[in-house]
Structure 1
Amino acid sequence: MDLHYLVDNLTNPALLFFFLGLLAVNLKSDLKIPDNSSKFISLYLLLSIGFKGGQELAHSVITSEIIWSLVFGVVLALLVPVYCYYILRLKLSVENSGAIASAYGSVSAVTFVTTISFLEMSNIPFGGHMVAVMALMEAPSIIVGVLLIALYSKDKKNKTSFKKVIHHSLTNGSVVLILGSLIVGYLTNDAQAEGIKPFTTDLFKGFLAVFLLDMGITSGGKLKALLKKGWFTLSFAIIIPIINGCLIAVVSGFFIDEIGNRLLMAILAASASYIAVPAAMKLAAPKANPGLYIPMALAITFPFNITLGMPLYLAIIEAF
C-alpha cells in the first residue's frame, strides 16, 4: 500500500472532522448538528454530486465500459445480499439477516461522496457515469432482502405489500434526488452550469466536512450499543466490506480502465447503506432490529471504508 495515500487520507480535513465528532461523543460534549441542518447538508451533497456527474456524463461518449459498469453495479446489488444473508443466518434471525444483507448489498452515498473527495485530492480522474451506477445500486438489494425475508419467514401474517416496498425503494428521496440531479446536470449547458458553480462545486468540501462531523457524532453514539451485540456482527461489518472491496478492486480491471472508476466501484461494493435501507426496512421488516443494521453500517463499516478501505482498495487496483 502506498503510505502517502493513507497519510493524505487520514489528514483530510473532512475526515478529521469525523474524528472530532467521535471525540466529542467520548468526552460527553453537547456538540450537535441540528437535525434540519444535517438533512439539508445531506440533500446538498447528493444534489451536488449528481449534478456534477451529469455534467461529466454530458461530455462523455457512451462506451461499452460505461454500459458494463452500469450492468455490473446492478448485478452486485442483486448478488451481495444473497450470500450475506446465508452467512448472517448462521447466528441471526430471518428478519435481521434480511435487513443487514440489504444494507450491505446497497450503497452508502456519503462513502461514495467521500471517495470522490479523496480522488480529487489525489488528482485521480473518474467518470461521471459512476454516479448513475451508485443510484442504480440502491433499490435492487432492498428488494432482494425483502424477498429473502418473505421466502424464509415463518410469520405469514401482517406482511407488507411487496408492491409497496418496491415503490418505496424506487421513490426513496436519495434515489430520486441523485438520479434527478444527474439528469439536470446532463441537460444543463456549460454556461448555465458555470453560473451555479460556486454552489455545486466551491462549497462542496466545506459542507462535506460539516456532514462528516455530524456522522462522527452519530457513529460515536451508536458504537457502544453495537459492541454489546457480540463479535459476530462486529466481525461481519469489517470482514465483508474487505472481501467485497478487494474482490471488486481486482475483478473490475477486466472491463474498467480508469483507476478512479475502479476505486469507486470497489467502494460501492464495500459500503453499506444506513439511510435508504433503514427507511425501507422499517416498512418491510418491522421485526428487524435497527440497533443492529444501522450501527453496523454507520459506526463500523463507514469509518473503516473512509480511513483504511480507500487506500487499501486503491493499492490493490494499482497492483493489478
Structure 2
Amino acid sequence: MFDIIIQNLISPVVLFFVLGVLAAIVKSDLKFPPGLSEALSIYLLVAIGIKGGMELSHYELHTLIKPILGTLFLGFSIPLLILAVLRFTKMDFHNAIGLAATYGSVSIVTYGAAISFLEKKAISYEGFMNVLVVLMESPAIFISLLLLRIAQKTKDNELGSVPSNPRNAHNLGFAHGYIDPEVVRDSLFGKSVLLLMGSLIIGWIVGHNAESLVKPLFIDLYGSILILFLLNMGLIAGERLPEVRKHGWKIILFGLCVPLIAGSLGVLVGAVVGLSVGGIVLMGVLAGSSSYIAAPAALRSSVPEANPSIYLGLSLGVTFPFNLIVGIPFYFALAQFIH
C-alpha cells in the first residue's frame, strides 16, 4: 500500500492541492476569482453527473437495488455512528450534529479524485456509482437534523416552554413537525444535488448518442479542470487550518480516524452488494469523505449554533487532504484484499 500512496502523492491532482495549501500558509497573493471558483464547481458536478447518466443507460433497474440499499444504509448509519462516538467527548450537541451531517454526507471532489485515481490505474467501475453519489448527499443531513429537532422538542416539552416568537418556532421545526420544509427543499434542490441529478438524468436519456458532443468538454478536459479546482481547494484548506488547530488534537484525530473507519465500512458494504474492485473503492470513498458544500449550506441556515470552523474547517482542512493522500490508496488496498 505504501507504493500506492507514493504514486498518489506524486499525481498532478494531489501536487496542485499541496501547492494551494502552501500558497495559503506563506500568505501568497494567489487568489481565484469567486466567479471562476463557482464555475469550476458547476463544471465538476455536471461532468460527473452526465458521465454517470450515460453509463447508467447500460444497466437494468434490478441491478441497482442492492447498491442503492447499501448506500442508504451508509447514509443513515454513519451519522448515528459519529454521534455515538462524540457522546464520549465534551463536544456540545449542536457541533456534534454539525459533524454528523458533514461526515455522513459526501465530498464530490474527493469522489472525482478517486475516479481519476482508478482511471490512471485502468480499473473499471460501475457507471451507476454516480447515482449513488446523489443518493448519499441527503440522508445524513436529514437524520442529523431530525435528531436535533427531536432533542429540541423533548427538551422544550420537559421544560414546558413554548416559543413566543412564531418565526423561532418555525426555525426549530415546531410549526411543521420535526423537520422544517425549507430544510427538505434545500437538501433536495440545492445546487449540488440538483446539478448532479439533473445532468445524470439528461445523460441517462441521451445515452451514448450524445458522446461526440459531450466528450470534448466533459470527459477529455475533466482531469485538467479538476487540477484547477483542487488548486483552489488547497488555498481554502490552508486558510482553514489555523481554525482547526485551535480546537485541540482530539478534533484533528477525529478528522483522521473517522474517514478510515467509515471508509472501511463503505468498502465492506460495497463488497456485500457485489460491486467490482473499482466500485468498492468508490463506495469506500463515499463513506469516508465529508461534505463541504451541501451539508454546510444546510447547517448554516438550520443549525446556526454549530461552529463552521469545526465542521467545515475539519472537513476541508484535515479530512479532504487526508483522503487525497492516504484515504483513497487505503480504500483501494482494502478493496483488493477483500475482493
**Same fold, judged at TM 0.5 (above):** yes
Please say which of residues 34-43 and 182-191 is displaced more in the overlay: 182-191
Following superposition of structure 1 onto structure 2, how do residues 164-243 of structure 1 map, counting pairs within 5 Å?
164-243=182-261
Equivalent-residue separation in structure 2 for 1:299 and 1:293 (angstroms): 10
Q: What residue in structure 1 maps to residue 74 of structure 2?
A: 76
Equivalent-residue separation in structure 1 for 2:95 and 2:317 (angstroms): 17
Q: What residue in structure 2 maps to residue 34 of structure 1?
A: 33
Please say which of residues 80-89 and 50-59 is displaced more in the overlay: 80-89
- Report % sequence identity: 39
For 1:256, the aligned partner's letter is G
Q: What residue in structure 2 maps to residue 44 of structure 1?
A: 43
Q: What residue in structure 2 maps to residue 87 of structure 1?
A: 85
**Root mean square deviation of aligned Cα:** 1.5
Q: Secondary structure at the match of 2:138?
A: helix
Equivalent-residue separation in structure 2 for 1:48 and 1:263 (angstroms): 20
Q: What residue in structure 1 maps to residue 54 of structure 2?
A: 55
Structure 2, unmatched stretches of 5+, are: 157-161, 174-179
Q: Structure 1 length normalisation: TM-score?
A: 0.95
Q: Does 1:307 align with 2:325?
A: yes
User: Is 1:250–1:316's contact at 8 Å kept on the other side of the alignment?
Assistant: no
Q: Does 1:316 align with 2:334?
A: yes
Q: 1:251 to 1:143 in 2, by over 3 A?
A: closer
Equivalent-residue separation in structure 2 for 1:189 and 1:308 (angstroms): 35
Structure 1, unmatched stretches of 5+, are: none
Once the two structures are superposed, residues 271-305 of structure 1 have per-residue CA deviations (whole angstroms, 9 ceiling, x without a partner) of 11111111101111111111110011111111111
Once the two structures are superposed, residues 173-222 of structure 1 have per-residue CA deviations (whole angstroms, 9 ceiling, x without a partner) of 10010011111111114342212311111111111000000000000000
User: Is 1:18–1:213's contact at 8 Å kept on the other side of the alignment?
Assistant: yes
Please say which of residues 24-33 and 260-269 is displaced more in the overlay: 24-33
For 1:82, the aligned partner's letter is L
Q: Structure 2 length normalisation: TM-score?
A: 0.90
Q: What residue in structure 2 maps to residue 143 of structure 1?
A: 142
Q: Does 1:253 align with 2:252?
A: no
Equivalent-residue separation in structure 1 for 2:61 and 2:125 (angstroms): 14
Q: What residue in structure 2 maps to residue 107 of structure 1?
A: 106
Equivalent-residue separation in structure 2 for 1:166 and 1:142 (angstroms): 9
Once the two structures are superposed, residues 203-245 of structure 1 have per-residue CA deviations (whole angstroms, 9 ceiling, x without a partner) of 1111100000000000000011110011221111111111111
For 2:19, the aligned partner's letter is L
Equivalent-residue separation in structure 2 for 1:9 and 1:318 (angstroms): 16
Cα displacement (A) at 1:10: 1.1
Q: Does 1:23 align with 2:22?
A: yes
CA radius of gyration, larger in: 2
Cα displacement (A) at 1:249: 1.8
Q: Does 1:291 align with 2:309?
A: yes
How many correspondences in the alignment? 318
For 1:233, the aligned partner's letter is I
Equivalent-residue separation in structure 2 for 1:290 and 1:63 (angstroms): 41
